[in-house]
Structure 1
Amino acid sequence: MTAASIYRRRTLALLTALIAGSVMQVAGAADADKKEIRFGATAGPYADQVRLGIKPILEQRGYKVTIIEFSDYVQPNLALADGAIDANAFQHEVYLKKFSADRKLQLSEVVKVPTAPIGIYSRKHKSLQDVKPGATVSLPNDPTNLARAIAILQQVGWVTLKPGTDAVRASERDIDGNPHKLKLVQLEAAQLPRSLDDVDFAFVNGNFALASGLSLTSALKLEAIPDYYMNLVAVRTTDVNRPFVADIRDAYRSSEFKAVTQQRFAGFNPPAYQR
């Protein structure tokens, strides 16, 4: 190999390194310059948490925050994966993991958020003791929230489950005792508040209860939420380490947001960092 060819190779290697470094610098600058966040949330308390508590903090840091509201539990993750939004707040980790696995999406948790519990509501009865044989009970039909409702059914003594049942995956097939012969009606979670005129008791997710005008304190029973059912903020996995995601996490963990939670979201289960 001649000295000239060695020189050419070294020059080419140096130029390649310089170009790669320039590309990385440009990408880093573009990442740092991202100042618009499209935040998806289900209509009701989780959109309100962003609007009242998170958006003002992020705006102080120079971001423009647009809140996009959804009315179901499917579209927010699809919109996130497609890049239509940058973050969402509406789901717990069990749902996120199952939905991501089923749809082959790369989504990750950022931070837990104050969470409204599932409650048992009724317009026909004033107490759980009023349950009669053959009473109708509406439940959410998505697998993870159905499992939550069945766990509460077991806690109040309305059903018993087969030995060894996994509480996170429980379904009607796992019920081996139904002493009141309850008629269990599965509905889309957003429709559960509307079912109150037609059923004896309804299990309603907290966000949809509040969005429909129900108060958490009017529930006949509220769920004691385990950590894996606490709602969270999710982003695309490729974005987890980006500065705007760190700023979202810091906003939720701030003392300013804790004050908003205490003033405006009474009855919500607080995440560990607010306890």
Structure 2
Amino acid sequence: MSKKGLGVLFSVLVGVSVLVAGCGSGNQAAQTNQAAQTNQAAQTNQASAAEPKKEVTLKIGAAPVPHAEILEFIKPKLKEQGINLEVVILDDEGQLNPALKDNQIDANFFQHVPYLDSVKTEKGFDFAVAAKVHVEPIGFYSDKWKSKDELKEGAKIGIPNNPSNEFRALTLLQEQGLIKLRDGLTTYEATPKDIVENPKKLEFVEAEAATLPRALPDLDGAIINTNVVLEAKIDPNSALFREGGNSPYANVITVRKGDENRDEIKKLDAALTTPEVKKFIEDKYGVAVVPAF
């Protein structure tokens, strides 16, 4: 072979070597880059796993019984979803709506819609109803009589003095045939002045709902909200008569308008309306509290 041929062959071999080396170098770089990315992703995932989930505190103002007890029951379930449920009980339940308006709490759980409707315009509450939870059938209780038929002429009957529950009490007495209200009542408001028939000439004592159990010894009977009955340690089965299961007075979760779409509120609503909560209510309260879902 000539010197010229050897030179060409040498040039070709050198070129191939450089090409192979270049390919090997590029492949190694790609592998190195891929390994670095995998390692970085692993470290990121490890860091994310090490970081605790951010917990959100949800403050709910509630009546003590049964509202707060129901909320306490669902606390563990919400905890699993990253929500720390804080139950706030105020001495005066009448302050639960102002507290919600003033952003002191995220929601409240103590009232039914007719009550809310009766106060929201006057007080300027811009609220929304998130979930219906239960009905507390209002009932007639007496320390003196065992049947409504024993009520004498002129008997003194205690009734709640807030508009919606007063209407509710008078409607219950009408359903029992003891009085008749005037036609045309289109709101959840009525007083004894709206009675057009009162065969037994019943005398009505209007009082704060919470005071009615203490007033029973001085009355022939009183229509009392079930949560008040439970707080007073009165047996709800001792009612001479009570509302039926079709009552429109379901107790609700109330929030500031717009907050019903918050993720935490939706999770609260879902947790309150499960078969487990339904069973808890039925087992714990019997006829005194009826699930509304």
Q: Give TM-score scaled by structure 1 length.
A: 0.82
Contact 2:278–2:291 (CA<8 Å) still a contact in 1?
Answer: no
Give deviations 1:1-60, integer Å, cap 9, x for gaps: xxxxxxxxxxxxxxxxxxxxxxxxxxxxxxx956101111112211111112x2222122
Counterpart code for 1:166: T
**Aligned partner of 1:60 among 80, 103, 109:** 80
* 2:70 equivalent to 1:49: yes
Counterpart code for 1:37: L
Counterpart code for 2:260: V
Tell me whether 32-41 or 138-147 shows the greater mean CA deviation: 32-41
Change (3 A) 1:216 1:183: same
Provide the C-alpha distance between the structure 2 equivalents of 1:201 and 1:251, rounded to a whole number of angstroms: 38
Residue 269 of structure 1 corresponds to 290
Runs of 4+, deviation exceeding 6 Å: none
Identity, in percent, stands at 35
Provide the C-alpha distance between the structure 2 equivalents of 1:182 and 1:71, rounded to a whole number of angstroms: 33
Provide the C-alpha distance between the structure 2 equivalents of 1:257 and 1:224, rounded to a whole number of angstroms: 21
Counterpart mapping for 1:96-111 below 5 A: 96-111=116-131
Change (3 A) 1:225 1:83: farther
Helix, strand or coil for the counterpart of 1:44? helix
Tell me whether 138-147 or 218-227 shows the greater mean CA deviation: 218-227
**Aligned partner of 2:109 among 89, 93, 116:** 89
Tell me whether 56-65 or 153-162 shows the greater mean CA deviation: 56-65
**Aligned partner of 1:152 among 165, 172, 196:** 172
Contact 2:163–2:189 (CA<8 Å) still a contact in 1?
Answer: yes
Give deviations 1:217-260, integer Å, cap 9, x for gaps: 11111112545311111011131111111011110122221221
* 2:200 equivalent to 1:180: yes
Provide the C-alpha distance between the structure 2 equivalents of 1:205 and 1:117, rounded to a whole number of angstroms: 7
Q: Give TM-score scaled by structure 2 length.
A: 0.77
Helix, strand or coil for the counterpart of 1:66? strand
Change (3 A) 1:241 1:131: same
Contact 2:141–2:221 (CA<8 Å) still a contact in 1?
Answer: yes
Query: Shift of the alpha carbon at 1:156?
Result: 1.2
Residue 275 of structure 2 corresponds to 255
Provide the C-alpha distance between the structure 1 equivalents of 2:217 and 2:79, rounded to a whole number of angstroms: 42
Change (3 A) 1:190 1:152: same
Helix, strand or coil for the counterpart of 1:245? helix
Larger radius of gyration: 2
Provide the C-alpha distance between the structure 1 equivalents of 2:242 and 2:163, rounded to a whole number of angstroms: 19
Provide the C-alpha distance between the structure 1 equivalents of 2:147 and 2:260, rounded to a whole number of angstroms: 45
Provide the C-alpha distance between the structure 2 equivalents of 1:167 and 1:82, rounded to a whole number of angstroms: 28
Counterpart code for 1:137: I
Helix, strand or coil for the counterpart of 1:228? coil
Counterpart code for 1:157: G
Contact 1:71–1:190 (CA<8 Å) still a contact in 2?
Answer: no
Unaligned runs of 5+ in 2: 1-52
Query: Shift of the alpha carbon at 1:167?
Result: 6.5
Give deviations 1:63-84, integer Å, cap 9, x for gaps: 2222112344421111111111
**Aligned partner of 1:38 among 51, 54, 59:** 59
Residue 253 of structure 2 corresponds to 233
Provide the C-alpha distance between the structure 1 equivalents of 2:187 and 2:245, rounded to a whole number of angstroms: 13
Provide the C-alpha distance between the structure 2 equivalents of 1:138 and 1:251, rounded to a whole number of angstroms: 37
Residue 133 of structure 2 corresponds to 113
Contact 1:38–1:87 (CA<8 Å) still a contact in 2?
Answer: yes
